[in-house]
Amino acid sequence: MSASTEPALGRFEGTATVFLTSAASLIVEIVAGRMLAPYVGMSLYTWTSVIAVVLAGLSLGHWIGGWATDRLKGSKRIFLAAILLGASASTLAAIAILPGISGFVLTRLDTAVTGITALTLSAFFIPSVAAGIPSPLVAAAFVEANPETRGRALGGLFAAGAIGSIVGTLSAGYLFISWLGSTKTLIACAGLYALLALVIGAQAGRKAGIASLAVVLALGAAGYGLRGAAKFCDVESRYFCIRSIDISAQAGERAQLMVLDHLAHSMSSRDNPESLLWPYPYMSDAIARAEKGEDFSAFFIGGGAFSLPRAWAARGIDTTVAEIDPEVTAMAEREFWFDPATTRVIHRDARIALKDEPAESFDVIVGDAFTDVAVPPHLVTKEFAALVASRLKPDGIYILHFVAPSSRPEALYAMKKTLKTAFTRTDMWLDGSPIYPDSRRSFLFVARKTDTEPTMGANGTWHPLDSAEIDRRAAASDARVLSDDYAPIDRLVGMAGIGVD
């Protein structure tokens, strides 16, 4: 069968092609965010870059598809099969591209925005371009075949594409990533593109069918070879890429480090639960014990490796932990020697969990939740600060771990002003030895409902900052109080460069 006599795309075949390519392109978009997380974190910048790059790729693909439609006569089917094979190949290539170029890209670009965008473009732009080409080809075929009912045909086709996008988004977020992981999900999408190419190419003629089959088999072999590639995560949950790293040699004792996405979160010692190897749990422990002794109740916003809850539980301190990800808790139990029987663990968002607790329930509340290097926006607002204050006893304290670039104090001033809306006094400590790249520093805010002077001074690498001077500088700055309506925490803390683990 020659190209000029190849059969036209049927209504069902064309609609199915648009539905499936739309679904696959959105699956790839969601997976892109997860696959970037081990390198650049999961932040507002990450998702903004992913969405922009995918939309740009789809837009260029639509233009190319329209341009090709005007120039193709009887070879639309062969061209469409070739494009789908290209979509399959470029989707597979993204699996190898990310680990191959991440170090090069991120060490040469000095801001989060440029680094994330460049990495996203390198891996996911071409697959999005290829996924955008089929729709105008199919639409043109429908109009040519059904000139009298072209409106209905096009409306149905656009609806199929939109529904496919919805199905792809939901299936990626709720099914594939948690079942298969990111790499195998991309391989499945590549396989879908390849099978569509085989079906469409086979109808174009024997030679086209054989060629399509050969390429599909080659892509299948490549996908099989890549099935274990880019496995950065020990566990890939609905929320994080979770890794457990043996740091016994560095710690001088049997110890593990937990990494969530690209950020090291906490360390735990096997034989000594009270050995707090990470700076901020050590200082949080010192402040709480100086203020409250050994008999108090505590609520943790975020669990991580549960190093501090484990230490406090070992001393008989009543602890409650709100950890949104059950897989993080399971990893802490398997790899970090955490015993869940010693601590009340709530697997919910901390704000929701804390809201369900009775008023004035806790002596100490510890904030230690992060997405990338920023505290989640809904946990830094004045509304949340008011909730925390309401759940603390009258003489209770709120200890908030906060990371910010030392060269951009706006984030610190905004947080200071925000805590002031709910607390009478807020003091700050700075960790003098950096544990984060790019001049970021670790801070602790300690907020009280009374005007009580802090009992802790300098401790190890931690130094108290002059509270009155910080208040003066915050008042003179343009920093705004953070609210549920306005909390640009990613922008405030995220403009420094991104390091690579």
Please tell me whether residues 218 and 350 are part of one structural domain: no
Does 277 share its domain with 166?
no
Average pLDDT value for residue range 474-482? 93
Q: Are 343 and 321 in contact (CB under 8 A)?
A: yes
Of 183, 205, 232, the position where a domain reaches its end is 232
- pLDDT recorded at residue 110: 64
pLDDT at position 279 is 87
Separation between Cα atoms, residue 448 and residue 435, nearest integer Å: 27
| Same-domain pairing of 218 and 320 | no
Domain extent, residue 440, equals 273-493
In a domain, 139, yes or no: yes
Strand order in the sheet with 462-464: 344-346, 318-322, 297-301, 362-367, 392-405, 440-448, 425-431, 462-464
240 in a domain, yes or no? no
Per-residue confidence at 205, pLDDT binned at 50, 70, 90? Answer: low
Query: End of a domain among 232, 264, 290?
Result: 232
CATH number reported for the structural domain that contains residue 225 in this entry: 1.20.1250.20
Note the pLDDT of residue 413: 94
**Statement: residue 438 has pLDDT above 60:** no
Q: Is the pLDDT of residue 321 over 90?
A: yes
Q: Does position 4 have pLDDT exceeding 60, yes or no?
A: no
Cα distances from 289 to residues 95, 176, 362, 372, 464, in angstroms, run 48, 45, 14, 29, 17
Q: Could you tell me if residue 198 is inside a domain?
A: yes
Q: Are residues 214 and 362 in the same domain?
A: no
Amino acid residing at 103: G
Structural domain count of the chain: 2
Do both 321 and 393 map to the same domain? Answer: yes
Is the pLDDT at 67 greater than 60, yes or no?
A: yes
Q: What percent of the chain has pLDDT over 90?
A: 56
Residue found by looking up tokens 């080809």 in the block: 137
- Whether residue 435 is predicted with pLDDT greater than 70 in this model: the reply is no
In a domain, 244, yes or no: no
Write down the pLDDT at residue 2.
45
Q: Which position has the higher pLDDT, 426 or 201?
A: 426
Look at residue 176 and tell me whether its pLDDT is greater than 90: no
pLDDT averaged over the chain?
87
* pTM, full prediction: 0.81
Residue 409 confidence (pLDDT) above 90:
no
Question: Quick one: average pLDDT of 279-303?
Answer: 94
Closest CA to 207 of 106, 77, 60: 77
Check whether residue 299 and residue 186 sit in a common domain.
no
CATH number for the domain including 425? 3.40.50.150
For residues 162 and 307, membership in a common domain is answered with no
Q: Which of 210, 232, 254 is the last residue of a domain?
A: 232
| Domain assignment of residue 501, yes or no | no
Q: Is residue 203 located within the same domain as residue 320?
A: no
192 and 292 part of one domain:
no
Kindly report which listed range (9-13, 300-304, 367-371) carries the lowest average pLDDT score. Answer: 9-13
296 with 221, same domain: the answer is: no
pLDDT, residue 496, reads 43
Report yes or no on 197 lying in a domain.
yes
332 plus 463 within the same structural domain: yes
**299 and 156 in a common domain:** no
Please name the residues in contact with 104: beta carbons below 8 A apart, sequence gap of 6 or more: none
pLDDT at 391 over 60: yes
Q: In this structure, is residue 204 part of a structural domain? A: yes
Angle between helix 76-108 and helix 206-226 axes, rounded to 10 deg? 20
